[in-house]
A and B are shown apart, each in its own frame.
Chain A
Amino acid sequence: MSPIRVAACILVLTLAAAALSCNDTQTSSVMSRSMGPVPALGRRLFFDPILSADRRISCSSCHRPQFAFADTSAVSIGVFGRKGTRNAPSVMNVDQQPHFFWDGRAATLEQQALMPIANPMEMDLPVDLAIERLRSDSFYIHAFRSVFQRNPDSAGLATALAAFQRMLETSDTPFDEWKINDAKLNDSAKRGYALFNGKAGCVRCHFGTNFNNVEFRNIGLYDGKKLIDSGRAAITHDPRDLGKFKIGPLRNIALTAPYMHNGMFRSLREVIDYYNDPDKVVSKPVGRDVFLSQPLHLNEAEKGDLEAFLRSLTSRSLIE
């Protein structure tokens, strides 16, 4: 073997090892988990920058496995360093969601999947070009033929990405184990759960298996001046929807800071302080929900308890 071949082989091996032995346990647990052929193809696509104009950004650049598939920056950075306007939410526990994106503009995961690829601020690759790339890649030609019995196409791409994301459900949390199997949970989290359902009134919006329900609500983060994202109204063109956003699901929330559609709160404590007295943070909101019209009067211990409850919604598979 010529020295150049050897060097090239080493380079290829190093790159492959780097790609496979991702630097954190979560990535490797997701990467190594056995999945059917469709989600496994989706996983490969999710982590592959081939779907972006500059071949540098993959879905996982913004939906980072070690942070429950959310992003750590307030708004995400796409191709060529372009800055978006919204915070990237977790793509875990999406199986049962009836709407996607903060404004709910996608109704299914399949419909959602192609949007970031074409979005000029995110991956900036027209879907036709993305398909052309996959059709000239021998791995994907082979994979699509064996999984879908046809060459790469947009329907297969969407199906595979959606199927992978549907595998990311988590219910192995201290909270569920406490409720279902009477396992031990710290007293602070138990008190926090009582506050969540009672004095703090969070359950009025955060209800259901993923602690969001199907609605869009306005928690007061739109004032038409500094906070200008009109949310749901841009989709429905109904002025009553100004400032309404999808209710954030709360599973694994301790891992997905910063928070809200614009990433304006850096920690769970900032979120709780906001709900405790919204006027202190946004003084002239437009259309804030009546549920949030009065301060909650939580003391410091109660705020800590509420936070402990939110932390108990973290999947063990993501922390161990």
Chain B
Amino acid sequence: MTKFPCLLTLLLLASCSIPPAHHLLGKWNNVLRRQGVTYEFVASFKPDGSYDGVLNGKVLVSGGTYEEHGDTVNFHDPVCNISYTGQYLLKYVNDSVYFRLLSDSCTLRREGTDGVGLKYLRNK
């Protein structure tokens, strides 16, 4: 009998960090450790359709826009050229989203996005 409330609490707790619906709006991060150093990348997808990426407190990419269409997203940002479109498939698993390349002629963005997973932080 005691199992049920426990499970409920766990589910409730878990739901706090799960985005309400499957869309990108909000802040997401990806933490990795390399040679004893921790790197944190934070992506903010804003309600006005713009997004920023910050690495260890330094702005990495900003001035970009995103448009979601069902399970795909189109990115435009100044990484290579603001007019180049990067198109990625979105896959939501638990509290994370994964990006799979559909098409992107910007190598730098492709390398930083394809296969990358981000964990949901908060809806801000």
- CA of A213 to CA of B112 in the docked complex: distance in angstroms? 13
Residues of A within 8 A of B115 (CB): none
Q: How far is the CB of A215 from the nearest CB of chain B, in Å?
A: 10
Interface pair B58/A171, CB less than 8 Å apart? yes
A197 within 8 A of B: yes
Residues of B within 8 A of A179 (CB): 52, 54, 59, 62
- CA of A169 to CA of B38 in the docked complex: distance in angstroms? 14
B56 within 8 A of A: yes
Indicate whether A180 sits within 8 Å of B54 (C-beta atoms), given known contacts A207-B79, A207-B108.
yes
Indicate whether A171 sits within 8 Å of B78 (C-beta atoms), given known contacts A197-B63, A207-B108.
no
With CB as the reference atom, state the residue of chain A lying closest to B55: A209
B93 within 8 A of A: no
Contact with B along A191-227 (1 / 0, CB 8 A): 0011001100001100111100100000000000000
Contact with A along B62-100 (1 / 0, CB 8 A): 110000000000000011111000000000000000000
Interface size, B (range) = 10 to 19
- CA of A193 to CA of B59 in the docked complex: distance in angstroms? 12
Interface residues of A in 150-197 (CB under 8 A from B): 169, 171, 175-176, 179-180, 193-194, 197
Interface residues of B in 22-49 (CB under 8 A from A): none
Interface pair B78/A175, CB less than 8 Å apart? no
With CB as the reference atom, state the residue of chain A lying closest to B64: A197
Indicate whether A176 sits within 8 Å of B108 (C-beta atoms), given known contacts A197-B82, A203-B78.
no
Contact with A along B87-123 (1 / 0, CB 8 A): 0000000000000000000001000000000000000
| Chain A CB within 10 Å, residue with most, of B56, B58, B80, B82 | B58
Interface pair A180/B52, CB less than 8 Å apart? yes
Interface residues of A in 59-92 (CB under 8 A from B): none
B60 within 8 A of A: yes
Of B52, B58, B108, which one neighbours A210 at CB under 8 angstroms?
B58
- CA of A71 to CA of B80 in the docked complex: distance in angstroms? 32
Interface pair B57/A171, CB less than 8 Å apart? yes
- CA of A194 to CA of B59 in the docked complex: distance in angstroms? 15
- CA of A304 to CA of B34 in the docked complex: distance in angstroms? 40
With CB as the reference atom, state the residue of chain B lying closest to A175: B59
With CB as the reference atom, state the residue of chain B lying closest to A202: B78
- CA of A179 to CA of B46 in the docked complex: distance in angstroms? 12
Residues of A within 8 A of B81 (CB): 204
Beyond A197-B63, A204-B80, A209-B56, 7 additional pairs, beta carbon < 8 A: A175-B59, A176-B58, A180-B57, A180-B59, A193-B63, A198-B82, A207-B78
What residues of chain B have their CB less than 8 Å away from a CB belonging to chain A? Answer: 52, 54-60, 62-63, 78-82, 108
Question: Which 8 residue pairs across A and B have the least CB separation, nearest first?
Answer: A209-B58, A171-B57, A197-B78, A171-B58, A203-B78, A179-B59, A209-B60, A209-B55
What are 8 A-to-B residue pairs whose CB atoms are below 8 Å? A169-B56, A171-B56, A175-B59, A180-B59, A198-B82, A204-B81, A209-B59, A209-B60
